[in-house]
Amino acid sequence: MERDICRLSIRGGLIALAIALATPVSSETRTITPILTASDAQLAKDAFKAVSASQWEMAHAISGAASNPLPRQVIEWLFLTDAHGVAEFRRLARFIRAHPDWPARSVLETNLEKTIPINLTPAAVATWFEEHPPRSATGAMRLGAALVSLGEIERGQEILKETWVSGDFTKREDREFYFKHRGIFVEEDHASRLQQLLWNGKTQAARRMLFRVSPTTKQLGIARIYLMERHPDVDKAIASLPKELLNDPGLVYERARWRRRAGKDKRARQLLFSLPDNLVRPEKWWDEIKYQIRVTLKEGSVTDAYQLAANNSLFGNVARAEAKWLAGWIALRFLNEPDIAYHHFKTMHDIVSMPISQARAAYWAAQASTATGDKQLAHHWLQRGVSKPTTFYGQLSSVALGYDHLNFPTEPQYDMENIKAFEERDIVQITRMLGEIGESKLMRRFAVHLAETSSTPAEHALVARLTADYSFPQVRIAAAKRSVRSGVILIDSGYPMPFASVVWSNEYYAPEPALVMAVSRQESEMDPHAISSAGARGLLQLMPQTAKHMARKLKLRYDRALLLEDPQYNLRLGTAYLAELLDKYEGCYVLALAAYNAGPARVKKWLWRYGDPRTEDVSLVDWIELLPYHETRNYIQRVLETTEVYRDRLGRDGTTPTMGTWQVMVDIPFETTKH
């Protein structure tokens, strides 16, 4: 039964795609009064064009000619946050004080700290930093010096010492700071700075510190630098260390990392089984450990993998939650220890706050409870999972309980008083103005900032209402994702359906409409002009070579520019490629999505290594979790969960696949897979 579901047919889906994508999203009908007059709107557009050409004087002049002050304010904000800006201190200070709720406040304050006049009085410097704590080493240095001048010597020197230890200086700044304040430093301060630089991988700056520390600290520093740089004399450097330094946490970490990079994983793990009690930078240790856990599983050393995952008490909550899940999963699936597994999953649930992680912990706690025979406890945890209906594991919980649709939470309500207070805010007016004139990237920054700073569910809903008024789905999605972090789920805003009148014919059958929209949402947030760092383009983030391949197959003219300029062209090629992958993998969404993200060559290797999830003896869910790349595991789960949301949004009928068709059915037991 599971395999038939995995092979969901993609034939006959073209008409359904065209109709579904043309279905509008219902929304309240109202008249939206433009923020700008027609003439001001044109001036604003011209000003932003000048900014794109780095013609700041022209941009200021054009925006200043508008009767509405908002375009001028945004141009000023862009100028003051520009990395190459030359704004003066008082200009920056005036803007920061006048606009405390604007985005990029940290950038504004960091830029200001670079421009504090030399002749500004210590009292004025101290007053500024009382209201605006330092953002940079430059700012902290000015505050410390000001306090010393004002007679607060102990506090000022403490700030200067902290700045020396943690500050990120250029070579010139390093030298100037050291010679100006060297009288207050002791050897311990220099040793601490050396440690910070080494942990941050700043080997050149660390070399400059070697002559300022004790001989033994210098030896240790050289050994760590040699390990980082894979220097040919690294063995000699380690052999020369005093015995008491061989257990230094930084040295142990770098040795483990060196061995991993040299392909000596077993020797690297020897250093990771027993972590130092005085663990420094636990997040860096966890990066090494989680890599070794998966390598160890691949090698079949299950007990070692569990030991690495279970030794997690020294980590922060984010790393500890991931470690708890891995320990629980290994205990349940590979060691047949459901009681131990349950403890790990429950602890994970106690320390996470994001819906995706909460649903994951709850679902697996239910699986462990089922394995112990406690059906009542399993039901309790599945109900907790169901409360997160937009997540992969929340949806798995729904399937396990026999639900045939998702139960979304009621969207937050607001009244006219809420609307009035919200719309009167300058930052809201600016966000609307940016939407009016088509500045989608800037609008996204302001809308996301509004969502990040919303303090009530009603405010989050009002941000969603604002973004829905403009034809930029990427703005709606980005803002709604930030609202989820505050526990507010906004289905209409977070899962828009912007494609309209998408009709074409070719020899390939169209994939399920919900899947196409889910892939576009994950790939580009439905931004037709998105370009990734790797060069993927448009709604479905096609690499030019892939697009060229599909254009040839479809007997279309290939035009690289159209991947960004024509959303329908991008959809046509991208959907055909997705259909090709679905056909290649017999309709199995998991394999097709893995290939879309990581490439068919990797999927071929994973099928050989982890088994084929289309067969009866391999669990589809476990197969996903076994994949070595976090990006691909996350990608598959996010697209699948979004597919289910779009199935509900499009309306489930006789042609809609049953919920859970992309996953293991509830009546198929989750067995420990053989690899």
Cα-only R_g, the chain: 29
Annotate 509-553 with three-state secondary structure: CCCCHHHHHHHHHHHHCCCCCCECCCCCECCCCECHHHHHHHHHH
Largest pairwise CA distance in the chain: 81
The string of DSSP codes covering 258-308 is: HHHHTT-HHHHHHHHSS--TT---HHHHHHHHHHHHHHHHHHT-HHHHHHH
Rounded to the nearest 10 degrees, the angle between the axes of helix 457-468 and helix 440-452 is 170
* Strand partners of residue 531: 537
Say whether 88 is catalytic: no
* Strand partners of residue 542: 537
Task: For CA atoms 369, 375, 376, 378, give the dihedral sign.
Answer: positive
Alpha carbon distance 344, 338 (integer Å)? 10
Q: Which two tokens stand for residue 400?
A: 């396990």
Alpha carbon distance 385, 355 (integer Å)? 9
* Alpha-carbon torsion angle 113, 115, 121, 127, nearest 10: -30
Task: Please state, as a whole number, how many other Cβ atoms lie within 10 Å of the Cβ of residue 438.
Answer: 15
C-beta of residue 394 within 8 angstroms of C-beta of residue 648: no
Count of all residues that appear for the chain in the document: 675
Alpha carbon distance 546, 344 (integer Å)? 43
Exactly one of 523, 525, 641, 644 is catalytic; name it.
523
The closest of 317, 368, 373, 374 to 345, measured between CA atoms, is: 368
Alpha carbon distance 580, 554 (integer Å)? 11
- Cα–Cα distance list, 458 to 216, 421, 463 (Å): 60, 12, 9
**Active-site amino acid positions:** 523
